[in-house]
């Protein structure tokens, strides 16, 4: 249920509501707006008697049942956008960020070269997989711990925060030592033990939509992370599986405005995986931003033809530079803000 506080309520009245929520076994979530303070009481469905109990508390204006199955992700609980802030920029609420880098960390030279040029062209975050979930057990699986150490070196040199994937609950503690953002890939989007583990890790989480998930299922996966006390979640539309075979997946651009109307969480686009071919990455990226996305996560490689995974969809450096030039112009036309990382 959602408890709306009266305008001009006291801090003691708010804390009394929070204590009462905890007393009946619910978990409180306080959202302070410019004019209104909302308190979400997260738990089982409330009885009419319980709602009347909270309506009678001092400072309470109204008590409203939360209609959505996802609670903490809902705009009913927090009616204003979540804005996540990193040393290189912000995302959400009109702020746009770009994460870029190779699909996989293949070597120190390859990763550092990519990190240097994505920063030079304006990226705000370095992506790269140290652990790679692959369809084939014989495909390149990543460098593991060595890859994490290479990413850490790239961060020290460039200052770019690191986003990298974690594959299992057992890996969370290790990856969290090196990563600034923990990525949950499409294949693990409903790995509920992993979602809970990253929710407890204390790091922002970039959650990709599963290739066969509905949007409600996607938000329920996010709810697993949020319910563990971690409200720093970025949702990523990365393409869904349809009957179309021309592209690797079908980018569901419509997911962006729908999600923005349902949740306060930032929504990003991954244009690389649905394209499957680098020629189509830039148009898909721009389409996602035009639809309202708060960021992009893009694959780029110093020598894509030699990449050990996803070679066909990774941008050359000059193509990434072209993308960033178009992103700057589009973001400005949309009256949004694209941070300019400090070079050095």
CATH of the domain at 229: 3.20.20.70
Q: Is the residue at 178 inside a domain?
A: yes
Token pair for 323: 């993308």
Q: Write down which residue in 64, 97, 118 finishes a domain.
A: 64
Q: Say if residue 180 is in the same domain as residue 266.
A: yes
Q: Say if residue 48 is in the same domain as residue 196.
A: no
Q: Which residues span the domain enclosing 316?
A: 84-338
Q: Is the residue at 181 inside a domain?
A: yes
> For the residues 215-224, what does the mean pLDDT come to?
96
For residue range 100-139, list pLDDT tens digits in order.
999 999 999 999 999 999 999 999 999 999 998 777 776 7
For the chain, the first-to-last Cα distance in angstroms comes to: 49
Q: Say if residue 59 is in the same domain as residue 88.
A: no
Please tell me the pTM assigned to this model: 0.88
Mean pLDDT of the chain: 94
- Please give the tally of structural domains in the chain: 2
Q: Are 144 and 163 in contact (CB under 8 A)?
A: no
For residue range 272-283, list pLDDT tens digits in order.
999 999 999 999
Q: Say if residue 145 is in the same domain as residue 258.
A: yes
Q: Is the residue at 76 inside a domain?
A: no
Q: Is the residue at 75 inside a domain?
A: no
> For the residues 220-225, what does the mean pLDDT come to?
94
Indicate which CATH number applies to the domain containing 24. 3.30.70.1140
Helices 48-55 and 11-23 pack at an angle, to 10 degrees, of 160
For residue range 170-183, list pLDDT tens digits in order.
999 999 999 999 99
Q: Say if residue 167 is in the same domain as residue 300.
A: yes
Q: Say if residue 306 is in the same domain as residue 227.
A: yes
Q: Say if residue 115 is in the same domain as residue 203.
A: yes
């Amino acid at each position: 249920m959602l408890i709306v506080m009266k305008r001009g309520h006291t801090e003691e009245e708010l804390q009394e509501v929070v204590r009462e929520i905890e007393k009946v076994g619910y978990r409180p979530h306080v959202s302070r707006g410019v004019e209104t303070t909302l308190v979400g009481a997260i738990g089982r469905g409330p009885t009419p008697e319980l709602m009347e109990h909270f309506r009678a508390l001092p400072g309470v204006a109204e008590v409203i049942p939360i209609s959505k199955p996802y609670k903490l992700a809902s705009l009913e609980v927090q009616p204003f956008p979540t804005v996540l802030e990193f040393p290189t920029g912000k995302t959400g609420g009109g702020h746009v960020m770009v994460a870029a880098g190779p699909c996989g960390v293949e070597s120190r030279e390859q990763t550092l070269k990519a990190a240097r040029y994505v920063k030079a062209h304006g990226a705000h975050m370095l992506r790269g997989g140290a652990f790679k979930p692959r369809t084939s057990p014989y495909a390149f699986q990543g460098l593991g711990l060595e890859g994490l150490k290479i990413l850490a070196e790239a961060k020290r040199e460039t200052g770019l925060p690191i986003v990298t994937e974690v594959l299992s609950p057992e890996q969370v503690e290790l990856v969290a030592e090196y990563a600034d953002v923990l990525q949950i890939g499409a294949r693990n989007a409903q790995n509920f033990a992993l979602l809970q583990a990253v929710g407890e890790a204390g790091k922002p989480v970039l959650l990709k939509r599963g290739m066969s998930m509905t949007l409600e299922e996607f938000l329920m996966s996010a709810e697993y992370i949020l319910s563990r006390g971690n409200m720093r979640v970025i949702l990523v539309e990365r393409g869904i599986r349809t009957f179309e075979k021309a592209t690797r997946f079908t980018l569901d651009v419509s997911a962006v405005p729908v999600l923005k109307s349902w949740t306060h969480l930032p929504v990003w686009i991954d244009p690389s995986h649905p394209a499957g071919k680098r020629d189509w990455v830039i148009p898909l990226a721009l389409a996602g931003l035009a639809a309202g996305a708060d960021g992009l996560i893009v694959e780029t490689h110093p020598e894509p033809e030699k990449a050990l995974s996803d070679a066909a969809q990774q941008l050359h450096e000059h193509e990434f530079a072209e993308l960033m030039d178009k992103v700057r112009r589009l973001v400005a036309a949309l009256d949004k803000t694209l941070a300019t990382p400090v070079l050095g």
